[in-house]
């Protein structure tokens, strides 16, 4: 956000409650999305009583993930597919982008992890020889692009991207352009907070919210399907 002397780097975190409702957890200014800025935000949430989330979704900002690893080491990581698609396509000629985008969507919307991994191999076979940077961008953190397969299939829509932040923040950017800068860091943060606070009243709940307690409890899902616990057969005791 434009100020008189510098730009305000706005750190935004949105969470999901056990009933599936989304909530704006924090909005703070930081320094170029640094690890220190993100870590301070996450530690503040922890002090306020927030438990470490089961999974976090974000783009490739290294500062955020380094902070998550430091403050919430048990939290799973899911990379945003929208950001990754943009990064991969940017490394291909424009004439190849429509076909490549279709191939990337086959990975993103695969029915299971095995199909996604096979689609990644096909993409590499098609483009690695001439465009190795595009394939390298896709395969960077490949496992963390596919984390969503370890959660209920009903939640994949919500886990694959950071659209819940990107969409309402477009309104913040529009207002900033209209006002030609907020004038001060505090005013810029206050404006962004108020706009997001109003937007969250219209956010839709997660699909299949009844499964969230199972996710929090550590119930195992494979390719979106809940796994039953293995039955433990107790040894019979002989009568004395």
pLDDT of residue 61: 77
In-domain check, residue 99: no
Interhelix angle 97-108/81-89, rounded to 10 degrees, is 150
Q: What is the dihedral of CA 187, 192, 195, 198, to 10 degrees?
A: -100
Helix (H) or strand (E) holding 15: strand 9-16
Pairing of strands 55-58, 76-79: parallel
In-domain check, residue 20: yes
In-domain check, residue 109: no
Q: Looking up tokens 């434009």, which residue turns up?
A: 2
In-domain check, residue 197: yes
Residue ranges of the chain whose pLDDT lies below 50: 1, 231-234, 238-240
CB 39 within 8 A of CB 30: no
5 Cβ contact partners less than 8 Å away, ≥ 6 residues apart: none
pLDDT of residue 174: 63
Closest CA to 20 of 214, 212, 217: 212
Helix (H) or strand (E) holding 225: strand 225-226
pLDDT digit string, tens, across residues 148-192: 999 999 999 999 999 887 776 666 666 666 555 556 777 778 888
The token pair that represents 135 in the structure block: 């394939």
> Other CB atoms closer than 10 Å to residue 212's CB: what's the count?
19
In-domain check, residue 143: no
**Alpha-carbon gap, residue 237 to 239, rounded angstroms:** 6
Using CB atoms within 10 Å of the CB of residue 159, give its burial: 0 to 12 exposed, 13 to 18 middle, 19+ buried: buried
pTM of the model: 0.84
107 Cβ contact partners less than 8 Å away, ≥ 6 residues apart: 116, 119, 120, 123, 138
In-domain check, residue 103: no
Total structural domains within the chain: 1
CATH number of residue 28's parent domain: 3.30.420
In-domain check, residue 115: no
pLDDT of residue 238: 47
Full domain range(s) for residue 183: 1-80+162-207
In-domain check, residue 126: no
CB 33 within 8 A of CB 9: yes
């Amino acid at each position: 956000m434009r100020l008189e002397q510098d730009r305000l780097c706005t750190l935004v975190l949105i969470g999901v409650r056990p009933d599936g409702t989304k909530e704006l957890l924090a909005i703070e200014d930081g320094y170029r999305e640094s690890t220190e800025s993100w870590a301070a935000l996450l530690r503040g949430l922890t002090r306020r009583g927030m438990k470490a989330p089961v999974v976090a979704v974000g783009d490739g900002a290294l500062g955020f993930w380094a902070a998550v690893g430091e403050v919430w080491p048990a939290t799973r990581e899911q990379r945003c597919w929208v950001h990754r698609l943009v990064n991969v396509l940017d490394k291909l000629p424009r004439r190849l982008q429509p076909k490549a985008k279709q191939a990337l969507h086959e990975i993103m919307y695969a029915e299971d992890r095995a199909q996604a991994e096979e689609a990644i191999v096909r993409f590499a076979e098609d483009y690695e020889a001439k465009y190795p940077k595009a394939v390298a961008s896709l395969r960077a953190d490949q496992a963390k692009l596919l984390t969503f397969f370890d959660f209920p299939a009903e939640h994949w829509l919500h886990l694959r991207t950071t659209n819940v932040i990107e969409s309402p923040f477009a309104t913040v950017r529009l207002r900033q352009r209209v006002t030609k800068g907020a004038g001060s860091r505090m005013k810029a943060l206050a404006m962004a907070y108020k706009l997001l606070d109003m937007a969250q009243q219209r956010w839709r709940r997660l699909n299949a919210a009844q499964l969230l307690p199972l996710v929090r409890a550590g119930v195992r899902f494979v390719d979106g399907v809940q796994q039953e616990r293995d039955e433990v057969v107790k040894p019979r005791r002989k009568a004395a």
